Structure 1
Amino acid sequence: MRVKLAINPLTWTNDDMPELGAETPLETCLAEAKLAGFAGVELGNKFPRTPAALKPILDAHGLALASGWYGSNLLERDVDAEMEAAEPHIALLSALGCTAMVHCEVTSAIHGNKGKPVAERPVLTEAQWDVLLPRLDEMAKRLGDRGLAMAYHHHMGTLIESEAEIDRMMAGTKHVGLLLDTGHLTFAGGDPVRAAKNHAKRVTHFHAKDIRADVMADVKARNLSFLDSVLAGVFTVPGDGCVDYAAVLPHIAAAGYSGWLVVEAEQDPAIAHPLTYARMGHDNLARFAAAAFG
């Protein structure tokens, strides 16, 4: 199978809410990721951020680095300044053999604000679109010259969240690749199957985050923040929610996708036992992937 399975350490310890899983050491995250069957991991807040420190740790567990999140501020600074700010991250991913960089524009983002309802997230003005898209495209081109595809992560609580915004970003750029996150898109009211069909050739990374439909309806009705929605259990691992992976994955498979499929499902580890859900996510995703990719 030309795709590989990875997991984000959010299953064990949360980046936006460090108190979730704060007591869990990195060793446990990596050992259990391997035990669950994964070949790789994404970066998390407990990972050392230099190649010399991180590579031996991953090698000891037989895990590769799949990618890692980078939050840009391209509405507030030009591409030269953004590339300079991103350089340590770019160097780390490159040194560890990554081929894509998870990228999200986080200017004015509210996903980390527990007191702000996710429905009140910022929306780009026409003038901001005119600034952001050329800068994103130029940064994506420069990353490509460095051997890294930009994998733009549409994300709840940020400037590019909805399916229409994804469509506009794709139409307005040439070099930007898409990180298709099935959970975030479903939460935003979009259709992951349609997005996969429309943008299959531009997908450079994939997050298999599932949604509990009943919880999603409840948190939207209560106008909760992104973080409170996480605590309520809106996200889960693939195959445990309402996303139709059997319909999503064939579109990117037919387009030749050969990157990572990443289980990313932040939950409260005190409620959702990490190893149990890691195993469930791996086994379900492996089954979906085998059917789509052969």
Structure 2
Amino acid sequence: MSTASLSPTARAVISNLCLGSAPDSWGVWFPEDEHQVPYTQFLDELVEAGYTWLEIGPYGYLPTDPRQLAEEVHSRGLQVSGGTTFGALHRPEQWDEMLASTRQVAELTAAMGAHHLVFIPPMYRDEKTGAYTEEPTLTAEQWAGYGRAASELGKILLSEYDVRLCLHPHADSHIQTQAEIERYLNESDARYANLCLDTGHVAYGGGDNIDLIRRYAERVEYVHIKQMDADVLEQVWKEGLSFGEAVKRGVCVEPPAGVPNPASIVDELSTQDLERFVIVEQDLYPCAPDVPLPIAIRTREYLASCGLSGTDRPRPIPRFAEDG
């Protein structure tokens, strides 16, 4: 009997997937913010919720000194799955600044023994006000430059830090819809620039997660598992809401509610002979400090019932051989 045919309560542990969580699930969007819990609370509650693996989150939220971060993480029995950074690949005038900040995160990520860097493109609407800050679509010239920049950045990260660039589709960004995700993949070099499949953001943009997993299997290096409330998504499309406003209305929901169906995502990933981290994210900013922990516990228990465990470390997806 295949794992996919088992009910959530009966599934054995899926050996090629490793479960973790991230500061985002504790309402953390920024390095510092008055609405966010202290990082020590996040780490302590991560352990209490039963997780072993974590993503670093916004650079500066957790300690940026490698020795201090290692002490905070390892003293709690935790391990780091990857780093997180933000940057604009379609703005060549910001390349040097973006590269410098990305190097910082890559260095910290590598120091923690992790090999994945989740790269989040900027939103074209303000995170807090919803105001448009730039055009929502890229020109053909910008797309070509985007692919070149992603490939060059990924090559630097892989060769200098042994860290893999995993671009994260995001609501209100230029990599939001399925067409935009596929264009990014087609414009970039598969050896160096690949994907962090955020299932919730793909659904937010009207994309098909299962199709992406099947057709672009070797480019899906890392996964954020997230669900969106279908009713709030309808409000987004009808009212033209910003992502920040959608989050305030509760667009991100805990499993098994929402779209896509998390069990279906786990089933599909389990059929592939590729080992991946599957990191829980539920956008909660802003939220009361006592809100995240119960959700985190229920989420881990549900995903464990689907066969997701956080005990083993996935092997990196093999990279394509260098030319020449």
Asked whether the two chains share a fold, i.e. TM above 0.5, the reply is yes
**How far off its partner does 1:151 sit?**
0.8
* Equivalent in 133, 136, 141 of residue 150 of structure 2: 136
In the other structure, the counterpart of 1:209 is: 226
| Higher normalized helix content (fraction of residues) | 1
Structure 2 unaligned spans of 5+: 1-14, 313-324
> Structure 1 14/84 Cα, relative in aligned 2: closer, same or farther at 3 Å?
closer
Q: Distance in 1 between matches of 2:220 and 2:249?
A: 30
Kept in 2, the 8 Å contact 1:11–1:274? The answer is yes
**Aligned-residue RMSD, C-alpha:** 2.6
Matches within 5 A, 1:120-199: 122-145=136-159, 146-173=161-188, 174=190, 175-199=192-216
Q: Distance in 2 between matches of 1:55 and 1:70?
A: 19
Q: Distance in 2 between matches of 1:52 and 1:282?
A: 29
Structure 1 unaligned spans of 5+: none
Q: Distance in 1 between matches of 2:112 and 2:182?
A: 31
In the other structure, the counterpart of 1:73 is: 88
Residue 238 of structure 1 aligns with an amino acid whose one-letter code is: P
In the other structure, the counterpart of 1:95 is: 111
Q: Distance in 2 between matches of 1:47 and 1:179?
A: 21
Report which stretch shifted further, 210-219 or 175-184: 210-219
Deviation per CA, 1:188-209: give whole Å up to 9, x if none: 1111111111212111111011
Identity in percent:
26
**How far off its partner does 1:104 sit?**
2.5
Aligned residue for 1:61, secondary structure, equals: coil
When normalised by structure 1's length, the TM-score is: 0.88
**How far off its partner does 1:103 sit?**
0.8
Residue 29 of structure 1 aligns with an amino acid whose one-letter code is: F
When normalised by structure 2's length, the TM-score is: 0.81
> Structure 1 262/235 Cα, relative in aligned 2: closer, same or farther at 3 Å?
same
**How far off its partner does 1:115 sit?**
2.9
**How far off its partner does 1:3 sit?**
2.4
Number of corresponding residues: 289
Aligned residue for 1:179, secondary structure, equals: strand
Kept in 1, the 8 Å contact 2:16–2:273? The answer is no
Deviation per CA, 1:90-149: give whole Å up to 9, x if none: 11000001111001232x63252423279x862111010111101111211222223111
Matches within 5 A, 1:1-294: 1-16=15-30, 21-22=35-36, 24-45=37-58, 46-77=61-92, 82-106=98-122, 109-110=124-125, 112-116=127-131, 122-145=136-159, 146-173=161-188, 174=190, 175-267=192-284, 268-270=286-288, 273-290=291-308
Q: Distance in 1 between matches of 2:135 and 2:51?
A: 34
> Structure 1 246/20 Cα, relative in aligned 2: closer, same or farther at 3 Å?
farther
